Structures are given as C-alpha cells and as structure tokens.
Amino acid sequence: MLSLEQEIKALIIASLALEDMQPDDIDSASPLFVEGLGLDSIDALELGLALQKRYGVSMSADAEETRRHFSSVKALAAFVAAERKDNPAPLD
C-alpha cells in the first residue's frame, strides 16, 4: 500500500501530465513552486481539483493558508490527512 505522500506524488504526476517523472523523483520536503518542482498557479488549480476529487478535501479561500498547504508534498499530505480525520468518508 502506498503512503499518502507517494499517492500525492503520483497524483501530481498524473494530473499535471508530468510524464517524464516518477514519484521517487519528487522530494517530499522540496517546494512545489518556483525553485522546487517549478509548478505555477494554473498547476495549483489543477492539483487542487485533483485533490478534491480524489480525497474529498476542499481548499480554503484564505490565500496564505492555501499557500502553506501547497508548499510541499509533505505539507499537502498533512493537510489531506487532517481533513480526512476531521471529515471521514461515509461507510458504504
């Protein structure tokens, strides 16, 4: 079973069509934007939609809070884990 960080790395690659990358190519602690992975604001929107669809989480309208969540894979995984804990998926 993949760790949440590995799942998010795979989601980043799939949702942003980064075909030349593998999950292990992405450092969990490195920045996702600018000097890190080099994502831009359009990538952030696409990734936010993919996270919402996959994990049922929604991002805050607070730009500073959202920037913190998107700072790295590790930060995204912590956000998703916290949201899932606060809002568990309904039982089938």
Identify whether 91 is part of a domain: no
How sure is the predictor about 8, in pLDDT bands with cuts at 50, 70 and 90?
very high
How much is the pLDDT for 91?
46
What average pLDDT does the segment 11-23 reach?
94
Number of domains, the chain: 1
Residues of the chain with pLDDT > 90, as a percent, come to: 63
What average pLDDT does the segment 2-11 reach?
94
CATH number of the domain within which 35 lies: 1.10.1200.10
Q: Copy the structure tokens of residue 7.
A: 């799942």
54-57: long-range contacts at Cβ-Cβ below 8 A with a sequence spacing of 24 or more? Answer: 54/7, 54/11, 55/80, 55/83, 55/84, 56/83, 56/84, 56/87, 56/89, 57/83, 57/84, 57/87
The whole domain housing 13 covers 4-86
Identify whether 79 is part of a domain: yes
Identify whether 31 is part of a domain: yes
Output the pTM of the full model.
0.84
